[in-house]
């Protein structure tokens, strides 16, 4: 569904940026996993033969994979006491291992991972926006080359009539009044025709959503009651006639 429906275009763009970001973050995750495996070996040597148990009677650090999982829990959740207390009650010097795990694997690597994800995603998103803008400008320049006609001064421009025909063909859902409004917004110098720099800004305004609002008599009475009374007064109607 995410990759099929056209209305999910922005979701697809975010998904592709996340995929590209994941490739940049994989080395950092690899270092994080290597640190967990390294501390797992040290912890295994420390607890071997001590037969420690949790408060519920379950074996504490039963095997290497159990150690890896508990160290992962220690670095990614708030369940630190559940992992630390059994070893601390047996030998307080074991706190050194857990402090190193928290400092290196949790605070250091989690900070690096967060910064890497942010910077990578920001970079990919910026590149995507830049490439999209360049591609749109290139397409608009090509369209201008095919549609523009020379005026009396020899400058290639797009008059209002050609602009309306172009917009009607490209966006059939737009009515003529919307296309005319867009033309006059782009026509800053009020020359009645668009040159290439003016036409190249069309994509900026096409991102806007236009709505028509028709004011009825009820809206007029509600918003401007005093003016309505004046307009509907007998003296004003007499002057109008």
Give 118-156 pLDDT, tens digit per residue.
Answer: 888 888 888 888 888 888 888 888 888 888 887 777 778
- Delimit the CATH 1.10.287 region(s) of the chain: 6-130
Name the CATH topology of 152-207. Recoverin; domain 1 (1.10.238)
Question: For position 95, what pLDDT does the model report?
Answer: 74
Question: For position 232, what pLDDT does the model report?
Answer: 65
The C-alpha atoms of residue 186 and residue 160 are separated, in whole angstroms, by 11
Cβ atoms of residues 98 and 74 within 8 Å? yes
Tokens of 173: 């859902």
Cβ atoms of residues 36 and 68 within 8 Å? yes
If DSSP codes are grouped into helix, strand and coil, which group holds residue 241?
coil
Cβ atoms of residues 187 and 194 within 8 Å? yes
Mean pLDDT of 55-70: 79
- Delimit the CATH 1.10.238 region(s) of the chain: 152-207
Q: What is the pLDDT of residues 104-116, one digit of tens each?
A: 777 777 778 788 8
Domain 6-130 has CATH 3.30.160: no
Mean pLDDT of 180-200: 82
Instruction: Read off the pLDDT band of 233 (50, 70, 90).
Output: low
């Amino acid at each position: 569904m995410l990759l099929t429906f056209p209305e999910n275009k922005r979701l697809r763009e975010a998904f592709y940026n996340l995929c590209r970001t994941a490739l940049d973050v994989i080395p950092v995750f690899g270092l994080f996993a290597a640190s967990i495996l390294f501390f797992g070996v040290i912890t295994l040597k420390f607890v071997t033969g001590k037969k420690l148990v949790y408060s519920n009677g379950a074996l504490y650090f039963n095997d290497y994979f159990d150690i890896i999982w508990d160290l992962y829990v220690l670095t990614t959740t708030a369940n630190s006491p559940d992992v630390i207390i059994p070893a601390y009650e047996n030998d307080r010097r074991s706190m050194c291992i857990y402090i190193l795990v928290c400092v290196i694997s949790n605070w250091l690597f989690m900070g690096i991972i967060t910064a890497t994800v942010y910077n990578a995603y920001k970079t990919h998103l910026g590149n995507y926006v830049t490439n999209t803008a360049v591609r749109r400008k290139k397409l608009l320049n090509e369209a201008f080359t095919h549609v523009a006609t020379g005026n009396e001064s020899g400058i290639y421009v797009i008059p209002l009539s050609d602009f309306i025909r172009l917009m009607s063909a490209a966006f059939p859902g737009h009515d003529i009044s919307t296309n005319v409004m867009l033309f006059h917004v782009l026509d800053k110098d009020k020359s009645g025709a668009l040159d290439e720099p003016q036409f190249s800004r069309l994509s900026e305004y096409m991102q806007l959503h236009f709505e028509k609002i028709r004011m009825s008599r009820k809206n007029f009475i509600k918003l401007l009651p005093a003016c309505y009374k004046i307009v509907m007064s007998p003296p004003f109607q007499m002057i109008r006639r």
